[in-house]
């Protein structure tokens, strides 16, 4: 079920009414409702894969109980590895099986041993990369004795399958989200209204910004050889805003929806395109994933401790794995490697933790230095997104070659030029609103609260109207394929 669909527009109010007006006095019934609603939400796409969520839930619930009872370290490690191999095994089969088979055949062919093998027609279950990581954090934290296992299977099932963030995050930690299922929830009007504002802004990002930019980005990326350098650069820019509007928009809707039910999810995006270097960008982009890899992979490997060789090794591991997490394609691995190359000089010079505050924190306008830093960082991000979006390495290199050619100075050309000017205006307004609200957890959190009530609600109504007007150009959420 899609957040921007008619189905969800009916589904959400029904669950909301049942949750607060029928089962409000009983936490267990509320949690059970969440599990049922979440399975309906997920099964609306394809009910056949519901067993994967249930299987992952059952495995890690029981592993948690076994880890609690067992004191012998050797046995505890066995239980932990059962959880890791089960979850990553499911992920590897559904997401990476064909990738490994195809590359295995290619390697043997290069050495003169051609092999024949048929790839399986495997459908990638939506959200598998998210909920497997969520349950893994549960068992790892219990193993590390940072969390006590739950004996409430319904609460744990609700934690794993919680429908607002089930298919595209944020990837929640059990230490943060699971305890919220034990606590009695009371309806909080202010929290709910804030959630509605975040849902509204998320829908604006997705429907108006991401889906509109997708129309032009897709047209240009489908045949990059047909366009000049300036048009290709515009295509990269369109995709840059498409993926941000699409993914951060999903996160906003997920977090806002959770607030309607009394839950707090972690912030997943913190205005990443206002970053002053690539290290700051990664502290602000897909925060739930980057912190997951930091805590469960990078730090156990040694992090930034040790000699220079270890630092370089750990940095490349974390970025390559992050790239590979996004998809079974060499383009994602190259994308990760490029970010590692840009990150390394900051790490080795110990300037990767320089910018922990908000840009232009005490003024509306950034300084000249900050402008240059943001533009340079944004330029790096735009160029690396080309590998992320391209269907293969050859297309990415062709695309870059086209940008860095004399045709870059020609006038851009593609269909629907007039419509693209309208999108450019909305992009400007979008960036402006994001800039105004950059100190908050989302752009509309406090923007307009001091305005006259009539003006404020007129602004919300205007956003809603614009969303409806742009709703015809519907695109699937990008991160559903991850």
Catalytic positions, written as ranges: 326
C-alpha 123 chain-centroid distance: 20
Residue 377's nearest CA partner among 284, 293, 247 is: 284
**CA 152, CA 179: separation in Å to the nearest integer?**
11
CB 194 within 8 A of CB 259: yes
């Amino acid at each position: 079920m899609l957040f921007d669909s008619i189905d969800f527009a009916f589904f959400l109010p029904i669950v909301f009414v049942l949750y607060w007006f029928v089962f409000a006095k009983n936490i267990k019934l509320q949690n059970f409702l969440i599990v049922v609603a979440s399975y309906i939400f997920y099964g609306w796409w394809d009910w056949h894969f519901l067993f994967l969520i249930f299987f992952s839930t059952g495995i890690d619930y029981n592993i948690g109980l076994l880890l609690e009872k067992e004191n012998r370290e050797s046995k505890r490690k066995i239980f932990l590895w059962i959880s890791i191999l089960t979850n990553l095994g499911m992920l590897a089969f559904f997401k990476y099986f064909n990738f490994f088979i195809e590359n295995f055949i290619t390697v043997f062919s290069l050495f003169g041993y051609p092999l024949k093998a048929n790839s399986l027609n495997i459908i990638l279950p939506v959200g598998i990369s998210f909920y497997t990581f969520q349950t893994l954090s549960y068992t790892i934290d219990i193993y590390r004795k940072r969390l006590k296992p739950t004996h409430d299977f319904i609460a744990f099932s609700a934690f794993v399958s919680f429908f607002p963030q089930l298919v595209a995050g944020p990837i929640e930690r059990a230490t943060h989200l699971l305890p919220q299922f034990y606590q009695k929830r009371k309806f909080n009007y202010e929290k709910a209204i804030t959630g509605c504002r975040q849902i509204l802004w998320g829908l604006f990002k997705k429907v108006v910004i991401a889906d509109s930019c997708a129309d032009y980005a897709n047209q240009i990326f489908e045949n990059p050889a047909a366009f000049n350098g300036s048009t290709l650069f515009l295509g990269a820019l369109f995709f840059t805003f498409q993926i941000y509007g699409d993914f951060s928009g999903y996160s906003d809707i997920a977090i806002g929806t959770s607030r309607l039910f009394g839950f707090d999810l972690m912030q997943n995006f913190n205005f990443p395109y206002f970053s002053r270097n690539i290290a700051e960008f990664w502290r602000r982009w897909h925060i739930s994933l980057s912190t997951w890899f930091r805590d469960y992979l990078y730090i156990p490997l040694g992090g930034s401790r040790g000699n220079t060789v270890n630092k370089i090794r750990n940095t490349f591991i974390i970025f390559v794995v992050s790239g590979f997490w996004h998809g079974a394609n060499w383009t994602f691995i190259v994308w990760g490697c490029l970010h590692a190359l840009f990150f390394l000089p900051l790490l080795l010079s110990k300037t990767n933790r320089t910018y922990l505050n908000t840009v232009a924190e005490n003024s509306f306008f950034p300084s000249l230095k900050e402008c240059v830093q943001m533009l340079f960082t944004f330029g790096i991000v735009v160029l690396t997104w080309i590998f992320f979006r391209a269907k293969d390495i050859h297309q990415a290199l062709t695309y870059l070659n086209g940008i860095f050619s004399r045709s870059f100075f020609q006038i851009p050309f593609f269909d629907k030029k007039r419509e693209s000017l309208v999108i450019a205006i909305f992009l400007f307004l979008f960036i402006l609103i994001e800039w105004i609200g950059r100190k908050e957890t989302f752009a509309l959190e406090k923007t307009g609260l001091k305005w006259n009530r009539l003006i404020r609600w007129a602004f919300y109504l205007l956003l809603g109207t614009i969303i409806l007007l742009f709703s015809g150009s519907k695109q699937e959420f990008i991160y559903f394929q991850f």
